[in-house]
Structure 1
Amino acid sequence: MREHCIVLQDMRMTNQDHRKRSFLQKIFSSREVIVTRSSGDPFNSSPERRTGSALEALFSNHLTSRMPNQQTAEEPFRIFVATWNVGGKSPHSGLNLDDILQVHNQADIYVLGFQEIVPLNAGNVLVAEDSEPAAKWLALINQSLNRSYTVGSKASKPFASLGNPLPFQRPSLRKVCKSFRTESVRRLKTCNCSHVMDRKNNKDSCLWCPQTNLGDDGLSSEEEEDGLNGCGSSDIVANGDNHLRYSLIVGKQMVGIFLTVWMKKELVQYVSHLKVSYISRGIMGCLGNKGCISVSMSFHQTTFCFICSHLASGEKEGDELRRNLDVIEILKNTQFPRTCKSPYSNLPERIIQHDRIIWLGDLNYRIALNYSETRKLLERNDWNALFDKDQLKIEREKGKVFKGWKEGKIYFAPTYKYSWNSDIYSGETVDSKNKRRTPAWCDRILWHGNGMQQMSYVRKEYRFSDHRPVCATFLVDVETVEGASRRASSAYHI
């Protein structure tokens, strides 16, 4: 009997030792993951930062790990992205965006970025930006995405939703944004994990985070008071949800830069932690005529970041270095505020920390050839030889910018600079060499992260401005929790 008790005691000690070793292994494995992630960010690699991250890992493993019965799966979603420099022109009601948005494909998410939606004059840059063009672009986008769901769509007037403001009064971008949102978007919270699924099953659940109300653009009331929000107002009654197929998630303007994200209305309930950041890189490095708007959000269990930028212009030798610096400063200085009150949340605060990232805009990189040499290659449609001289390609291959990012193969002609309302590059219609611009692929879309497949990368033939719009479609894997509401994604029908 005594020998039997000794054997049982030895077995208990062995099991305790095993549990201790497993616990220590879990601690140090978590520490390694956090330190590696931190050290991968060149702007957050200080010893204090790594130590703090390691300490957080000791506790956050308990708070954010999945429950034993929780299983996840990756589900593909289709994301459509477009960028267009519209040359300071306000759109007219007859402008049809169906072809640009490729509405027949019905993406799950639309990410649309514009540059120069207003003229970059002193009044817009230094005084107060004009939000009327942004409101008109939203109305046109809404008309294309929700056309078949709108009563009397054939005779619809896209700008009717802007109302009839008094003379000299501009339509409110806030009010326009709200009219294109479903009720689900208006209920978004700063931290709404419990709306996505039960807290105990959510790996990013914020156990200590109160359900702080957001403004109509997904920002907290404190941020609204700081003037950071561009959309949303409580004094307008939104259209009924029944005729909206797509809902506006966010619409943001910084002088001429405008970024808007739309989503199928049945998917809005899976969006959380919506945040916006602005970086000005214009005159003296601090004005908003150049720079970027970045949107961070969680969709199901995957974090996304969308960046719309307008970088430094110029085709003189060395101007590409200014553009490189713009990218470096944007990556370095863009920071998303902590909206979760828990100090142990794993939500990204920097661009590069997100799972899936898409960067779009007028990056302004030119072709490292003179005008005559460029024109000869254009006449032969020799895109490969021309692209070998593309500044962005050259700078990326040198490792000076966008290291680790990807861009699809370019099979289309340079998108800049065209004469107004024509298919002729402006260099062919001007006599002065000072006014002549060498054609270039200024308008680009890049991405970063695993689980992303680019399905198309094209330009569209719209003569509205001196740039041609560029579009891309992605098939993106998103981590979802099995048991949560699922839907038949259009991604399955490619």
Structure 2
Amino acid sequence: MSSFTGARSKANANSEMTKANEINLCPVNTSTITSTSPDTSAKNEKKKKSILPKIFGSKRNGRGSDEETLKTSSAEEGDGVTLDLENKIETRRKAFLEAAPIMRKSFSERESSPGIEGLNLSNFERPMITMETELQSFRIFVATWNVGGKSPSYDLNLQDFLLVEGSADIYVLGFQEIVPLSAGNVLVIEDNEPAAKWLALISQALNKPRNEYSDSSDSGTGSKTQSSSKESKSPASLNFFQKPSLKVISKNFRAEGSSLLKACNCPVESPSRERRRMRKFSDPMSKLDPELRGDDTVEELLSIAEIPSSASQSRYSLISTKQMVGIFLTIWTKKELVPHIGHLRADSVGRGIMGCLGNKGCISISMSLHQTSFCFVCSHLASGEKEGDELKRNSDVAEILKGTQFPRICKNPCRRAPEKIVDHDRIIWLGDLNYRVALSYEETRVLLEDNDWDTLLAKDQLNMERDAGRVFNGFKEGRVVFAPTYKYSHNSDSYAGETVKSKKKRRTPAWCDRILWRGNGIEQLSYIRGESRFSDHRPVCAVFSVDVEVRSRNNRFRKGYSYTSPRPEYEDFIPQRHSFYDY
């Protein structure tokens, strides 16, 4: 009986050993197993789990890839259960990656970031978005005016000068000699009060409600309207023009969030970034500068500039303004274009006294509108009508092209914002270029009386130097169909020299004030001069139609998906927290 019981126990032990070999993933020594116990089951469970680190090992832990680990495990074990487990894991892994196309990188390739406990956005591949561009036309009004060192009065009407009824998209206004070119202004302190006055008058002309436009009492930019005559008697207007500040006024004419204009706005694949950028722009006058919080000062500012009180009335915002002694350049755009402007930078080159001071030289402003780069150059070149003086002006242009260097601002490694003038897509050069007519005063007067402008223009130094390839290579100019713009007697339509006998005060009439351009996609619609008697120069204006590349976004969906609305970006669902979410 006892022998039968012992044989039966041994048979049960062998049966249990066989079952354990079928279940365990590791080989078992039969000599060590005599019976089944809880301790033995626990050891078997540990052996089962010992294979998991091998299966899910990573390079970070010094182990091989998933495939290598599985192959090694299969070779060592040679067990069908392990191969089946490998196939299941690989199948689920592929199904997971196919179901989530955004998460492309495998777990074994991902590196953890010790500084961020959460999502690492750099490990996500953005949805496939195709970037397409289309050309849109915009109108740019450009004007240059040498105001002869005179400060404007509060009743100077610029509405006719700016052709506001034409409603351009961008206004580029360049002035020369807004202050007298005295030693104090050149060497000591720059006087910016006249520039502040010009800004106020420009804002008045551009942002005045259309129903308040009235016909001028006489033609020309210096005419007065009845409404402006009444406003000129306002004490607030008078007080304002006694204490303007260029810094304060220009800050309050800009759009809120205008600091973003100086940032890189290269295309990004995430529309959520663009929406966050657009929300930071608002009405230019919605937030006045703290320096203008006083009731009297605010009333004076609003009175003289006639700044609209509501966003719907304000049509134009100040984009950029810069002064160098007497040279002054300012750019205004329609309010709706402000969010699409970026890469805003400015530079100046002095070519005056000792070849470096700012009584002569240029101001250049670089910017991008949508996907097209623009450069606007306002210059005042060397004066003189003696033979050989044109070479000085040629040298000024060469030094301006060489010396102008815009700071590097673009963060997109695939795209680089232009840093030199000639690198831009569209270039407009305006100013008092000071090129004269290579004829004597007497010969010029005879041709002017006969209205023989073709003969005069054939002797125009700028045309001659350009045709010879010595200056402004690649630049174009529209046909000149107006009389010479320099030099006029004070408050007169007569050229200087007609009413005086002294040859020292006599100047040969010339087309000193010019507007040129360079680049494709630019069409000049008009090229005229104004008839203001404000200074000894007549202003010159041009209207351009420019082609701008505007980016359009088309979403491409994967097969098997059917959406009736645009696919949301994953960034839209991430809460805006931490500094790395701000771009």
TM-score, with structure 2 as normaliser? 0.63
Q: 1:291 to 1:161 in 2, by over 3 A?
A: farther
Quick check: which has more Rg, 1 or 2?
2
Deviation at 1:172, TM superposition (A): 1.5
Q: Deviations over 1:382-419 (max 9, x none)?
A: 11011000000000000000011000000000000000
- Answer yes or no: is 1:393 the counterpart of 2:463: yes
Partner of 2:370: 300
CA contact (8 A) 2:129 2:553 kept: no
Distance 1:105 1:139 in 2: 20
- Answer yes or no: is 1:188 the counterpart of 2:260: yes
Q: 1:157 to 1:267 in 2, by over 3 A?
A: farther
Partner of 1:129: 190
CA contact (8 A) 1:163 1:171 kept: no
Aligned-residue CA RMSD in angstroms? 3.1
> Which residue of 247, 269, 273 maps to 2:339?
269
Counterpart of 1:188 in 2: which secondary structure?
Answer: helix
Q: Deviations over 1:415-471 (max 9, x none)?
A: 000000000000112211122100000000000000000000000110000000000
Letter of the aligned partner of 2:158 in structure 1? Answer: L
Q: Deviations over 1:95-136 (max 9, x none)?
A: 111111111100000000000000000110011111111111
Deviation at 1:201, TM superposition (A): 7.3
Distance 1:388 1:396 in 2: 12
> Which residue of 125, 129, 132 maps to 1:71?
132
> Which residue of 477, 497, 514 maps to 1:444?
514
Indicate the structure whose relative CO is greater, using CA pairs within 8 Å and at least 6 residues apart.
Answer: 1
> Which residue of 472, 480, 483 maps to 1:410?
480
Q: 1:126 to 1:370 in 2, by over 3 A?
A: same
Letter of the aligned partner of 2:166 in structure 1? Answer: N
CA contact (8 A) 1:182 1:244 kept: no
CA contact (8 A) 1:85 1:467 kept: yes
> Which residue of 173, 178, 192 maps to 2:251?
178
> Which residue of 330, 341, 345 maps to 2:415?
345
Letter of the aligned partner of 2:427 in structure 1? Answer: I
Deviation at 1:189, TM superposition (A): 4.5
Distance 2:477 2:471 in 1: 13
Q: How many residues align?
A: 392
- Structure 1 gap segments, 5+ residues each: 1-65, 218-231, 485-494
Q: Deviations over 1:184-204 (max 9, x none)?
A: 5x352532427xx644579xx
Distance 2:504 2:291 in 1: 51
Distance 2:398 2:236 in 1: 40
Distance 2:210 2:235 in 1: 16
CA contact (8 A) 1:149 1:244 kept: no
Distance 2:533 2:247 in 1: 29
- Structure 2 gap segments, 5+ residues each: 1-126, 215-226, 299-306, 555-583
Counterpart of 2:448 in 1: which secondary structure?
Answer: helix
Distance 1:128 1:420 in 2: 28
Percent identity among equivalent residues? 61
Distance 2:290 2:368 in 1: 25
Letter of the aligned partner of 2:265 in structure 1? Answer: C
Partner of 1:6: none
Q: 1:402 to 1:161 in 2, by over 3 A?
A: farther
Partner of 1:253: 323
Partner of 1:423: 493
Distance 1:102 1:190 in 2: 29
List 4+ stretches of structure 1 deviating above 6 A.
149-153, 158-163
Partner of 1:61: none
CA contact (8 A) 1:162 1:171 kept: no
Counterpart of 1:433 in 2: which secondary structure?
Answer: coil
Counterpart of 2:492 in 1: which secondary structure?
Answer: coil
Partner of 1:220: none
Distance 1:170 1:242 in 2: 29
Deviation at 1:332, TM superposition (A): 0.5
Deviation at 1:331, TM superposition (A): 0.3
Q: 1:89 to 1:300 in 2, by over 3 A?
A: same
Letter of the aligned partner of 1:482 in structure 2? Answer: S
Deviation at 1:275, TM superposition (A): 0.2
Distance 1:400 1:447 in 2: 17
Partner of 1:224: none
Q: 1:352 to 1:160 in 2, by over 3 A?
A: farther
Counterpart of 2:456 in 1: which secondary structure?
Answer: helix
Distance 1:469 1:481 in 2: 36
Partner of 2:452: 382
TM-score, with structure 1 as normaliser? 0.74
Partner of 2:106: none
